[in-house]
Amino acid sequence: MKNVIYMTLGAVAFATLTIAPTHADNHMTAQPVELYACTFRDGKGMQDLEKANANFKKWAASNTSGHSAWMITPQFRSMDTEFHVGWIGAYQSAADFGSSTDKWVNASGSVSKAYYDAVDCSHAMMSSYATGGQEGAPGDGVVWFSRCSLEDDASVADAAAGHARVADMMEDMGAGGSSWIFVPGLGFGDAEFDYYHVAAWPSYPAFAKAWEAYVNGGGMAKAMELHEGVSSCKSPNMYDAQLILAPPAAE
């Protein structure tokens, strides 16, 4: 059973978007997020995973709380991030994470085994801080992950404040999305970066509008000013995202 628990379809969670960090007093509220990067086992494919997802949704309705889940598939990515499918699982609180994970580990039975039979995954836990965008769990869309490093003497709170200001700027330009900072935690080992900058849009046209404003509308220069001396981020990888599970309040 211990092997099975790592297949949790904890899901594709861009962190719960319900609580944004308060940067004015350097206080930030973190929420738990799980990341999975998976490859299909021999003879298995997306059809097997979709069956597992359907069973998970039924099980989760009465066994989880405050839990959002997405499945992601790579679209634009570097070749050093080879995997077939991923998940992000987000929780509104540590208590939701604890109770939901306890039931998954001890009472998921054939639901978790269906994932274990279909895919082989790495599994990590992160701390998520919302830095802009809508409230509530996002739906289907596109999401990017960019690895970012802090400059000397800069903190995660400083970086979060900078990303929040960039998000406000993009919103003012009519090209907003949603964004978070994911700070590595359990399962990452010695990470060669300090945090992920995660950004999401409901569609490719919405992303294209943001790209136009950022690249051709002056957004890039302003963003570089806001991040100067704080952090620098590498070119993002982009994924298609499918909402698998949303908490009742977001449905």
Residue with tokens 């604890």: 98
CATH no. of 4-250: 3.30.70.100
Instruction: Categorize the per-residue pLDDT at 82 as very low, low, confident or very high, splitting at 50, 70 and 90.
Output: confident
User: Do the Cβ atoms of 68 and 57 come closer than 8 Å?
Assistant: no
Half-sphere exposure of 145 (CA within 13 A, CB side): 27
Distance of CA 168 to the CA centre of its chain: 20
* Average pLDDT score over the chain: 85
- State what percent of residues in the chain have pLDDT above 90: 73
User: Do the Cβ atoms of 241 and 70 come closer than 8 Å?
Assistant: yes
Burial class of residue 70, CB neighbours in 10 A (0-12, 13-18, 19+): buried
Give the pLDDT score at 83.
86
Residue with tokens 């944004």: 20
Helix (H) or strand (E) holding 140: none
Q: What is the pLDDT of residues 91-141, one digit of tens each?
A: 999 999 999 999 999 999 999 999 999 999 998 999 999 999 876 668 899
Is the pLDDT at 194 greater than 90, yes or no?
Answer: yes
Is the pLDDT at 179 greater than 70, yes or no?
Answer: yes
Longest dimension (CA), the chain: 53
Is the pLDDT at 31 greater than 70, yes or no?
Answer: yes
Mean pLDDT of 8-30: 42
Mean pLDDT of 207-225: 94
Give the pLDDT score at 186.
87
> Which residues have C-beta within 8 Å of that of residue 175, sequence separation ≥ 6?
209, 210, 212, 213, 214, 217, 219
Q: What would the two tokens of residue 244 be?
A: 């698998």
> Which residues have C-beta within 8 Å of that of residue 158, sequence separation ≥ 6?
150, 230, 231
Residues in the chain: 251
User: What b/e string do you get for 169-188 counting C-beta neighbours within 10 Å, with b at 16 or more?
Assistant: bbeebebbbbbbbbbbeeee
Instruction: Categorize the per-residue pLDDT at 7 as very low, low, confident or very high, splitting at 50, 70 and 90.
Output: very low
Residue 250 DSSP class: G
Give the pLDDT score at 80.
65
Mean pLDDT of 36-57: 95
Angle between helices 46-63 and 110-118 (to 10 degrees): 150
pTM attached to this predicted model:
0.84
Instruction: Categorize the per-residue pLDDT at 18 as very low, low, confident or very high, splitting at 50, 70 and 90.
Output: very low
